[in-house]
Structure 1
Amino acid sequence: MGIRDFFKKGTKEKAQPVAEASGEARDGVGRILFQTRWKSSALFADNSLIQKVAERIILEDPFCKPFGSLEDEAIARIKRRIYEYEQVTTVNVAIKDGNLIIEGLSLGKLPAEQWNEISPYYGKNDFTAFVYVTGGRFKIWSDASEIVETVYTAYDLDIFIQFE
């Protein structure tokens, strides 16, 4: 089928998710066998290492725009927290021998509960992971002082793991 044929079809045929398209797809690629989300602060006690990993992710993200490129006037109108690095993420995530490695830095061994969750899939199924930086400096409108204030919280990491 050529590109012209694709556009001629229009919306007559609905696209279906791979997992529902056929019986074969349910047994193969595209079928999510397991997915989970973890907070790094809930898994690892070394907060300084979490901060270091977050800073490395921020440095490695070429699309990083502090505070979403918003000026204080725009932040005042939004009236919600605008984090300095709100959408910074990485897919440079690996798990080796139970160690969680992000951007080449090991956060340490996964706790037994999390390792037991993923171990049936580890090494046998396709692994996908990504990590978002959360926390850090943010700006918010203060009704009390009627200015945009800058506040700091420690970085954390939202870790998403999936096996297909």
Structure 2
Amino acid sequence: MGIRDFFKKRPKEAVNPVADSSGEALGGVGRILFRTRWKGSMLSEDASLVEKVAERIIQEDPFCKPFAGLENEEIARKKRRIYEYEQVTTVNVAIKDGNLIIEGLSLGKLPAEQWNEISPYYGKNDFTAFVYVTGGRYKAYSVASDTVETAYTPYDLDIFIQFE
């Protein structure tokens, strides 16, 4: 009996579609119990630390394309600011002993208000987090000068936390 014979003689399995893939059907798995969003500047008063974390995220992102890969002519047509690193994100986020750690750098202890929000879920439920870099250098079309100009706003972080 050859390998082809083995596969030919095997009975075909019937495919049964899953009727309900909601969180309730899965015993609650995948159901979001809590989610929140924080700004890095809200959690740490040290702007240089927030900038250092943002720069680390940028360094670690292998898919980073400055200004979304757009040329000045394309940016002029967008009619909005295009940040140099607006699509840069990380999922390398942890909370240890109340400290928020992003890409191995600690933003410090979470303020009591934020810790009280998540403490009922922390350590008991699945934790998911991701962080986007905001701010930095950007390009925008200026009607006054009829050119694309470059400017800068301080870096910040959009931090999304959820428990399932």
Q: Normalising TM by the smaller chain, what interval?
A: 0.7 to 0.9
Query: Shift in Å at residue 17 of structure 1?
Result: 5.0
Structure 1 residues 37-48: aligned runs within 5 Å: 37-48=37-48
Unaligned runs of 5+ in 1: none
Q: 1:138: which partner in 2? A: 138
Q: 2:126: which partner in 1? A: 126
Query: What TM-score, normalized by structure 2, do the two folds share?
Result: 0.87
Query: Shift in Å at residue 131 of structure 1?
Result: 0.3
SS in 2 for 1:151: strand
Query: Shift in Å at residue 14 of structure 1?
Result: 9.0
Q: Distance in 1 between matches of 2:20 and 2:147?
A: 49
Aligned residues: CA RMSD: 1.9
SS in 2 for 1:51: helix
Kindly tell me the number of residue pairs found equivalent between the two proteins: 152
Aligned with 1:18 (options 3, 18, 22): 22
8 A Cα contact 2:99 2:106, kept in partner = yes
8 A Cα contact 2:133 2:155, kept in partner = yes
For the pair shown, which has the larger CA radius of gyration, 1 or 2?
2
Identity %: 77
> Residues 127 and 77 from structure 1, CA distance in 2 versus in 1: closer, same or farther, beyond 3 angstroms?
same
SS in 2 for 1:18: coil
Unaligned runs of 5+ in 2: 1-12
Structure 1 residues 56-95: aligned runs within 5 Å: 56-95=56-95
SS in 1 for 2:64: coil
Q: Distance in 1 between matches of 2:51 and 2:139?
A: 19
Query: What TM-score, normalized by structure 1, do the two folds share?
Result: 0.87
State the one-letter code of the partner of 1:42. Answer: M
Alignment pair present for 1:147 and 2:152: no
> Residues 78 and 17 from structure 1, CA distance in 2 versus in 1: closer, same or farther, beyond 3 angstroms?
farther
SS in 2 for 1:87: coil
Q: 1:159: which partner in 2? A: 159
Higher helix fraction (1 or 2): 1
Query: Shift in Å at residue 137 of structure 1?
Result: 0.4
SS in 1 for 2:158: strand
Query: Shift in Å at residue 28 of structure 1?
Result: 2.9
